[in-house]
Amino acid sequence: MAEETRRSLLDRTLLEELPGEEIITEGARTGLAWVGRQILTFFEDTGKVGILFLRAIGATLSAGTYRRQILDQMSAIGVGSMPLVGIVALFTGAVAAVQAAYQLEGVVPLRYLGAVIERSVLIELGPVLTALVVGGRVGASIAAEIGTMRVTEQVDALEVLSVDPIKYLVMPRLVAALVMLPVIVVFANAIAIFGGFVVATFSFDQSPHTYVQALKQFFHLKDLTSGLCKSGFFGILIALMGCHYGLASEGGAEGVGLATTRAVVASCVLVLVSDYVLANLLFRVTF
């Protein structure tokens, strides 16, 4: 019965040219249009980010001229992020120690605690958590600063003064993030392993010697280097998202706020997604 109704409706549509609106409801129509717009926006944004990135690479030829901007950004992105990253890393290491001890209980001797913390911090926790923290802090501040410059016509003023905003604003932030993220991660790794050490010694009554022995025995240089490679990549992503959404912002305070949110969301999502891709590349393809 239902099949017949459907058929007859189809026939009527084809034969009598029943207006399409009666079958596709208004709601579905707007829904489809929304999906279509989102897909288009996605590809448009991807293209724009790609072009921005290529232009920033080209702009590195002028890195000498803009060295002061690069140094300023290195200080803002690197040194400025250290206190927050330090706290996050300390507790990450501490929590890792507690959780690892709980999970290893009865399976692996507790004297390997240092090794578990070390490897999980170097490979994963250090680079990714640092990138998420820096993504929130630095991604937001880049987007807000460039976004404000955009809506107050400062970016236009740069253009009129023959200063390429890509060279003056985008390239220094990208270079600074690429260089400084691995540096921050080295500190974060050390602090996190120290956090684990504190918990291991004071909470699990492990001797410092045992903890350090495990660290030494299971240290692989590749763990460290692959983590640092990832963090350099994350640095570029964070700065690129901040710059892209900042430059694309329009319409005053509301637009800048929106750009900031988008930059943070995009950099955090991209960090996690690319982490998966990089993990495969670094640990399954390359080695």
Partner 1 sequence: MDARDAADTPVLSVRGLEKSFGGRPVLAGVDLDVASGESVVVIGRSGGGKSVLLKHLVGLVKPDKGTVHVLGQDVTAWTRPQWSGLRGRIGMVFQGAALFDSLTVGENVAMGIRVRQRLAPAEEMALAKQRLAQVGLVDVEHLKPASLSGGMKKRVALARAVATDPEVLLYDEPTTGLDPVMADVINRLIRSLQQQFGLTSVVVTHDMTSAYFVGDRIAYLHQGRVHATGTPEEIRRSEDPIVRAFVEGRSQGLAVTH
Where along the sequence are the contacts to partner 1 (CB under 8 A)?
145, 149, 152-154, 156-164
CB neighbour burial string for 113-126, b if at least 16 within 10 angstroms, e if fewer? bbbbbbbbbbbbbb
Beta carbon of residue 246, minimum distance to partner 1 (angstroms, whole number): 14
CB neighbour burial string for 267-281, b if at least 16 within 10 angstroms, e if fewer? bbebbeebbeebeee
CB neighbour burial string for 186-225, b if at least 16 within 10 angstroms, e if fewer? bbbbebbbebbbebbeeeeebeeebbeebbeeeeeeebbe
Beta carbon of residue 68, minimum distance to partner 1 (angstroms, whole number): 11
Q: How far apart are CA 213 and CA 287, in angstroms?
A: 26
Contact 71, 174 (CB under 8 A): no
Beta carbon of residue 76, minimum distance to partner 1 (angstroms, whole number): 10
If the CB atoms of residues 163 and 190 are measured against partner 1, the closer one turns out to be: 163
Beta carbon of residue 260, minimum distance to partner 1 (angstroms, whole number): 17
Residue 244 CA, chain-centre distance (Å), reads 14
Three-state SS at 72: helix
If the CB atoms of residues 113 and 149 are measured against partner 1, the closer one turns out to be: 149
If the CB atoms of residues 74 and 224 are measured against partner 1, the closer one turns out to be: 74
Write out the E strands in 199-242.
none
If the CB atoms of residues 45 and 164 are measured against partner 1, the closer one turns out to be: 164
Beta carbon of residue 82, minimum distance to partner 1 (angstroms, whole number): 21
Best CA proximity match to 69, nearest among 56, 51, 52: 56
If the CB atoms of residues 157 and 273 are measured against partner 1, the closer one turns out to be: 157
Beta carbon of residue 163, minimum distance to partner 1 (angstroms, whole number): 6
If the CB atoms of residues 167 and 244 are measured against partner 1, the closer one turns out to be: 167
If the CB atoms of residues 76 and 228 are measured against partner 1, the closer one turns out to be: 76
Beta carbon of residue 29, minimum distance to partner 1 (angstroms, whole number): 20
Residues with Cβ within 8 Å of residue 194, at least 6 apart in sequence? 90, 93
Contact 220, 282 (CB under 8 A): no
Q: How far apart are CA 89 and CA 125, in angstroms?
A: 9
